[in-house]
Structure 1
Amino acid sequence: MTITTVMRRQILPTTLAATLAGLLMVSGCTKQTNEDTNADATTQSEVQSTEATDDTTLSAVDKAHTDRLMISYANMAHAAFKDSLDTAKALQAAIDTYVATPTQANLDAAQAAYKIARQPYSQTEIFRFDEGFVTPNDKRAIASVDSWEGQINAWPLDEALIDYVSDTYEGEYNSKDNIINSENITVGSVKQDTSTITPELLAEMNEIGGSEANVTTGYHAIEFMLWGQDTNGVNEGAGNRPVSDYVTEAGQCTSGDTVNEDASICERRGAFLKAAAQLLVNDLTAMEAEWQPERDNTLRSDLMARKYDNGLRQVMYQMGSLALGELASERMQVAFVTGSTEDEHECFSDLTHLSYANNARGIQNVFNGSYRTVAGKTVGGYGVKNYLADTGNQEAAEKLAADFIKVENAFNVIVEKGEKEGIKVDQMIATVGQASKQGISAEEQNTRRGWIENAITSLQELTDGIENAAKAVGIENLDADAGSQF
């Protein structure tokens, strides 16, 4: 079964001829222990009440293994989205405080809350790429995770549509009018009233004019509003938006280096940030509800209803598509090949090293059957690794486990360099020519690029493993999304 997924980003052209042909699968940066293998009453009721759409070829033993895998997967999804919602609410509270009282301490607190909120959400991206599997259902609030995700995590965004940018900025949107400084803007042939900034307006404007770069919602819009544009290129440093951008007193309100006589622009900036935070909480509230047990017409109930039919394929397809098509290709390879900081996933805050690692961890969570919540509880209890072993495919399970360790080690290096040594991904992806302008030797830059390259290359070693594991359990031609291969 071939499934085409829609990638929500621009792919920059490149003349590089090399092709990274076999990227797949990636691990997280910490192992999970103390797995909870006990099914609760809710879990048992799901097993008993769910009927398969096509289960004639499965034995009772195989069905039992499938039950455990799907329930563990669904419970991990619920826990991860619940953590994402809770940390988004904490971020919203920090934003409310900052907008009401714009001080450096409150900005620091809001930025810290953003960093915390991103970590559980980045682990939920394993649950994407489901659009080709879910059953159409008009009674379900959300059609699929993949169709929902664009309003929450779309990137890269054309920041000129939202607020001021540097004079050297080059993007698709090149008007001086933007959402913050104008009550009416024109995007292509679309005229938009922006006089009142609300969550509904931002949702309506997301990808306005048909451009995927016109992102007005989600984490990255919030990130831009907290950090501002990163004008450091491949040099050290993230965005440095001043607190005065939110000061609502005449003569003290700024737009970067520009002092605004009218403080209304700072009021609008605060309104945008609060609206974006509210919309994020709304969206995560809706998704968390989709994974609550014992509810009808949800993504969870749909998965459980067809678990013996294509549930296993969906899980393995999602693992491969995030690892190969999204993480290895779209998020890492494109930026690595081009040296483009605009293609860095957290380009305003320089937190890309963490989003990479947590995307990888999400895949490992499903493999191991173990998600560790923000509160420290372990949810799951049964993963693809267990399923392979229990169905007589121990060799495939062991190979994948060994490959995960290699990938885990590669991502640990990226995280350690970013967190402990202050060498961020934008510095790692710089070409030798770019780095030389910053006084970095070719030898040093090749070492830095090697950290990214090693992580990408380590994913290749998992390709055969995931494909062979799928074949071992009867899934031919998994056809995971491969992204944009050069």
Structure 2
Amino acid sequence: MTFTTVTSRKFLPTTLATALTAILMVSGCTKQTEEDTTVTQTEVQSAETSDDGQRSAAEQAHIDRLVSSYANMAHAAYKDSLDTAKALQTAVETYVATPTKANLDAAKAAYKAARQPYSQTEVFRFDEGFVTANDKRAIGSVDGWEGQINAWPLDEALIDYVSDSYEGEYNSQDNIINSDSITVGSIKQDTSEITPELLAEMNEIGGSEANVTTGYHAIEFMLWGQDTNGVSAGAGERPVTDYATEAGQCTSGDIVNDDASICERRGNFLKAATQLLVDDLTAMEAEWQPDSENTLRSDLIARKNDNALRQIMYQMGSLALGELASERIQVAFVTGSTEDEHECFSDLTHLSYANNARGIQNVFNGSYQTVTGETVGGYGIHQYLIDNGHSDAADRLAIDFIKVEDAFNVIVKKGEEEGIKVDQMIATAGQVSKQGISAEEQNTRRGWIESSITSLQELTAGIENAAKAVGIDNLDADAGSQF
């Protein structure tokens, strides 16, 4: 019956040189034990010559410190992500139980806070081609796990009501919220009971990457609703009454429903999605626990003398170029598409962008600041390059990171202090002409985005040069979309 109502993109591997050429042609949305980077007996061997007989005791100590620091930062960042997701869950449960404007605002604030540490973890994502197969490990790779956490953009029509003008892949009037059974392609899905297990089962149903039913962005949609402002100011404005459970008060946007069952289901969806997020982050945090076995951490430690350094630098380059500069920023920038903005419902994209970039910088500096203000790490790629006689490469890369930080600081300041969000920055002059914004002003706004793309491209070239300095001649990081 129908209730009454009126990421993980796959990239083609290519060399960074080829990727940069193609993309540049276009440019014109803890505890003390963790902080201590002292090498433990469980995680690293005593400093000695490696098996290939070419690594000195000092060089061995450097790689040991690098891998240990990286693993500690990963654990701290995922622990912060888990803790803030639990705070979000508490706020969601309060809001669903008592749907008031104050409780909705509190849930939105908790979402915003939860996104800060998680967005910094995405540098750890690009590990698919490195990790060792291990049937005893609960999670095969960060990259394989990430799709249930952070997939986007999502086809919101599959989940709940959308505006009449919405154009998406899924175009049925039946959705998870308003129906106890829906059909996606040739698949008929029972949706009568909304649970974390159902949402996990339905994620990317029918083989479509847009059919996202889980993770941060599904929660974001349920809190904010659609942003129908286009490239004008304003985020989604889902009314509190969408969660009202009193007869005659339950709405679906502008429409008042005959009964409250649809609002109850909406609350069930929001709680189920948040519970699944907490469950998934609990599993990932466990993968980086110190002294653990059969985990992503133990696997990295075991490979420290093999491909750990390549993995770390590959991940930095892949997030900088393929994912952030290309998929997350340039796609939206070139097309002027707000649907391709990373946080298109809440207009928090400026923070996601900046925290993605900060995550790369954390690995470079060997320093992650927890939500409580503690510093975890102690040794990064910067010091590793210096200690191995490549100060020039370290200094050049440090300058590249300063340019990236400066570019994203502008975007964050405009978004947080001046209310100019990414969806307004990516608009073309033609798109905003009816709003009284001059072409000159809009080109200035687009320039902020273009500077972020350019800085990331230059950073990736610097990462490639640093990789060559330490003997990695072909980093071959993901390059994202080619325009």
What corresponds to 1:190 in structure 2?
A: 187
Structure 1: runs of 5 or more not aligned:
1-6, 12-18, 25-34
Structure 2: runs of 5 or more not aligned:
1-6, 12-18, 25-31
1:252 aligns with 2:285: no
Distance verdict in 2 for CA 1:389–1:53, change over 3 Å = closer
Distance verdict in 2 for CA 1:456–1:54, change over 3 Å = farther
Task: Write the letter of the residue equivalent to 1:62.
Answer: E
**Pairing of 1:425-440 with structure 2 (within 5 A):** 425-440=422-437
What corresponds to 1:228 in structure 2?
A: 225
Q: TM-score, normalised on structure 2?
A: 0.93
1:374 aligns with 2:371: yes
Distance verdict in 2 for CA 1:321–1:359, change over 3 Å = same
Distance verdict in 2 for CA 1:50–1:346, change over 3 Å = farther
Distance verdict in 2 for CA 1:403–1:23, change over 3 Å = farther
**Pairing of 1:194-233 with structure 2 (within 5 A):** 194-233=191-230
Shift of 1:435: 1.1
2:63 to 61, 66, 77: 66
- Kept in 2, the 8 Å contact 1:22–1:463? The answer is no
1:98 aligns with 2:95: yes
For residues 390-428 of structure 1, the C-alpha deviation after alignment (integer angstroms, 9 at most, x for no partner) is 000000000000111111101000000000000000000
**Pairing of 1:23-62 with structure 2 (within 5 A):** 39=36, 43-48=40-45, 55-62=52-59
Moved more, 433-442 or 456-465: 456-465
- Kept in 2, the 8 Å contact 1:165–1:229? The answer is yes
Cα distance in 2 for residues equivalent to 1:162 and 1:101: 22
Root-mean-square deviation over aligned CA pairs: 2.0
Cα distance in 1 for residues equivalent to 2:62 and 2:140: 27
Cα distance in 2 for residues equivalent to 1:456 and 1:448: 13
Cα distance in 2 for residues equivalent to 1:398 and 1:22: 27
Aligned residues: 463
Q: TM-score, normalised on structure 1?
A: 0.92
Cα distance in 1 for residues equivalent to 2:72 and 2:362: 12
SS for the counterpart of 2:307 is helix
Distance verdict in 2 for CA 1:392–1:216, change over 3 Å = same
- Kept in 2, the 8 Å contact 1:323–1:363? The answer is yes
What corresponds to 2:412 in structure 1?
A: 415
Distance verdict in 2 for CA 1:335–1:50, change over 3 Å = farther
**Pairing of 1:87-166 with structure 2 (within 5 A):** 87-166=84-163
Task: Write the letter of the residue equivalent to 2:338.
Answer: T
Shift of 1:21: 3.0
1:78 aligns with 2:75: yes
1:328 aligns with 2:308: no
Cα distance in 1 for residues equivalent to 2:48 and 2:261: 58
- Kept in 2, the 8 Å contact 1:251–1:259? The answer is yes
Cα distance in 1 for residues equivalent to 2:441 and 2:118: 33
Task: Write the letter of the residue equivalent to 2:81.
Answer: S
Cα distance in 1 for residues equivalent to 2:122 and 2:213: 20
What corresponds to 2:15 in structure 1?
A: none
Cα distance in 2 for residues equivalent to 1:415 and 1:280: 26
Distance verdict in 2 for CA 1:170–1:46, change over 3 Å = same
Cα distance in 1 for residues equivalent to 2:23 and 2:33: 32
1:8 aligns with 2:24: no
- Kept in 2, the 8 Å contact 1:36–1:381? The answer is no
Shift of 1:437: 2.3
SS for the counterpart of 2:189 is strand
Moved more, 403-412 or 461-470: 461-470
For residues 69-122 of structure 1, the C-alpha deviation after alignment (integer angstroms, 9 at most, x for no partner) is 000000000000000000000000000000000000000000000000000000
Cα distance in 2 for residues equivalent to 1:55 and 1:229: 57
For residues 246-286 of structure 1, the C-alpha deviation after alignment (integer angstroms, 9 at most, x for no partner) is 00011100000000011000000000000000000000000
- Kept in 1, the 8 Å contact 2:34–2:72? The answer is no
Moved more, 109-118 or 459-468: 459-468
Distance verdict in 2 for CA 1:38–1:419, change over 3 Å = closer
Bigger relative contact order (CA 8 A; separation at least 6): 1
What corresponds to 2:448 in structure 1?
A: 451
- Kept in 1, the 8 Å contact 2:251–2:263? The answer is yes
Cα distance in 2 for residues equivalent to 1:92 and 1:38: 28
